[in-house]
Structure 1
Amino acid sequence: MINNTNNNSIDVMKFICAILVVIIHAPPLLSYNETANFIIVDIIARIAVPFFFVCAGYFFFNKIPIKNGRMERSNNFKPLTKYTGHLIRIYIFWTIFYLLWWVPLWYKGGNLTIANLKGYILSIFISGSYFHLWYVVALVYGIIFTFLLLKYLKVKLIIVIAVVFYLIGTFQYSYNWVVKENYFFDWFHNIYGLFGSISLGIFRAFPYLIMGLVFAKYRVKITIPISSILSVLSLVMVGVEVWLLKTSGHSSRFSYVLLTGVTTFFIFNTVSQIKLKYNSVYPNLRRMSSIIYFVHPILINVISVIYTYIFNYKDSAILFITVSVFTILFSLGSIKLSQNKRFSRLNSIY
């Protein structure tokens, strides 16, 4: 169990992970060196979203009473409905936000049709209303799935289930080439893809949420020095695994590989044990990380258009720096505005 009275280091790491997500979508070294860009984007930055999932599990299940390895039966659904309600409000806001961007583009391209609107509405519930919002959808389904399991099963059994589901999800994502022309696997692959973020919530979010629960409720006896070394070593091994997958030619998807979970475990263990003296900047970093995650895609689009069509210039490093600066400024402005009573509802955007 980790002392949760000081989570400032986690707030700092969440901010770093938000910037890593920006790196994934606006690769800074793309214009300069393909190998260096691959290392940053497809190896280092890929720990960001798993870390977010672990944080979600850690903070949510810290509030859930667990006794003798089982969630107390007297515990009602209030914590679940409160948390999922918060996530849904965030999702609705950013769905509307990005819809205002999409509709003029659909109209201009002649794609504003009933069929496309039906597909979009369906995607809101299954895959995400915009490409990065899959995370919120997966988190909602994942937290519900995890909570329901805890209502009826012991934590130790759920940990085993989470590991099995993690392996299945990783196999389906990065190692599906191992099994060819297998009826059962083809059927599973199709079903997995059909349900989009629902599948991701169960096979991707759920294992990391359980990892967060483990840190919240149990003592992980790995000291900071050892955990730091293991974090670096496991990240290097992720690089080796990803490189082998890339050079084999069998897979071009590296976001979630077998050792991603191991690396995330050691990084979270290391970060969560570092105690930083309180400063008001840390809660703001936590809020900023959420806003940066949600707003950065539209800024990438807008700034790319400005650089390409107005200045006839596009450099990946300049794009990344510009997007990062504007997302940080936007997040700071949003937080400052939300502290005004008239705009307090802006809290719902993060």
Structure 2
Amino acid sequence: MTNPARSRALDLLKIAMAIAVVGIHANPVAPLGRTAILLTGDGLFRIAVPVFLVINGYFFAQLAEGAPMRAWLKRLGFLYVAWMVLYLPVSWRSFEAQPLTGILRDAVLGYWHLWYLSGTFLAGALVILMRGWGTRALVLVMLTSFGCGLAITWAVSWGGIEGKIWYHRNGLFLCLPFFLAGLLIRRHDLAARFSLPALGLMAGLGVVAVLAESLLLSALAPHGVAHDNLLSLALAAPALVMLALRLPLGSAGRELGQYANGIYFTHVAPCALLFRYFREDLSRPVIFALTLGIALVMTWGLIRSGLARRLL
């Protein structure tokens, strides 16, 4: 999760995606109706996590070339445990209201947005086991895991099985394929193989496809759709990352990336508390703005205190 030669464009993309995650959880346009939600919180904003995963896989490829893997896994494990503990003052109600099986599941998979850490840990561990594999084998694994996630999503949406979101939104069926996509982009320098206009076109088509798929599946699926696993994300997320890699914005220090990580990790605390205690008093746009503003202040505090190096 670190990079010695940071890209300013990539860090700016991460900040945009972190704000999109805030939009998923505190969608400011939700009062405008279902179509607005499908285009934003269940559409455009869903690109965020796959983009993060592609970026993680891209920089993980550097580690896979020879650096020790145990330190990377230890770092992810520490982040997961640390944030799960830090969120206990907010999450305890969720744990208290569940049976033992639910408590154990959330302890393993993660509270709310922290599933991303446990999922990335699993994806990274699997990639470590496959690091000596050739590209064809990795592509086959990537397509198979991505296809399984789609199949489970569609089976639930069309009533084929009774499922929960963690059946497909997990380290195996969501994190692994995008993590591998990032690794393969780095391994074969795929961003350099396309012109900047071509990457812009691919990213634009991917974004439009995400919006179209969100609307289409909502109209067709009788049991609704979990928008974490969308077919169009397979184009949108890698294309956006490759576009950012090619943009000539120069290098940056750690702080931009830390703000992106900080917004992601801290925003659920103010978001959950604002909805819990002020849902009737504050509008969605106000809750979104307060959530983002508080997350920025909390991140600033972590950076200035020196804790960002441990927690972000």
Equivalent residue for 1:85, pick from 41, 59, 74: 74
Q: Where does residue 231 of structure 1 map in the other structure? A: 203
Q: Which has the higher Rg, Structure 1 or Structure 2?
A: 1
Alpha-carbon deviations, 1:129-188, whole Å to 9, x = none?
x1111111111111111110224x3222111221122112112123545684xxxxx5xx
Q: Where does residue 138 of structure 1 map in the other structure? A: 119
Q: Where does residue 267 of structure 2 map in the other structure? A: 296
Aligned residues: 307
Q: Where does residue 89 of structure 2 map in the other structure? A: 100
Matches within 5 A, 1:1-350: 5-65=5-65, 79-103=68-92, 105=93, 111=96, 116=99, 119-125=102-108, 127-128=109-110, 130-151=111-132, 153-177=133-157, 180=160, 196=166, 200-220=170-190, 221-250=193-222, 251-280=224-253, 283-308=254-279, 313-338=281-306, 344=307, 346-350=308-312
Normalised by the size of structure 1, how large is the TM-score? 0.80
Tell me how far 1:303 sits from its aligned partner. 2.5
Tell me how far 1:268 sits from its aligned partner. 1.1
Counterpart Cα distance in 2 of 1:175 and 1:241: 16
- Structure 1 gap segments, 5+ residues each: 66-74, 181-185, 339-343
Question: In the alignment, residue 228 of structure 1 is paired with which amino acid?
Answer: G
Aligned-pair identity in percent equals 20
Q: Is residue 137–residue 197 contact of structure 1 (8 Å, CA) maintained in 2?
A: no
Q: Where does residue 69 of structure 1 map in the other structure? A: none
Counterpart Cα distance in 2 of 1:209 and 1:170: 16
Q: Is residue 137–residue 198 contact of structure 1 (8 Å, CA) maintained in 2?
A: no
Question: In the alignment, residue 143 of structure 1 is paired with which amino acid?
Answer: G
**Pairwise CA RMSD:** 2.7
**Which stretch shifts more, 9-18 or 169-178?**
169-178
Counterpart Cα distance in 2 of 1:202 and 1:8: 30
Tell me how far 1:210 sits from its aligned partner. 1.0
Counterpart Cα distance in 2 of 1:247 and 1:32: 18
Counterpart Cα distance in 1 of 2:5 and 2:271: 36
Counterpart Cα distance in 2 of 1:106 and 1:217: 41
- Structure 2 gap segments, 5+ residues each: none
Q: Where does residue 72 of structure 1 map in the other structure? A: none
Q: Is residue 29–residue 37 contact of structure 1 (8 Å, CA) maintained in 2?
A: yes
Counterpart Cα distance in 2 of 1:90 and 1:118: 23
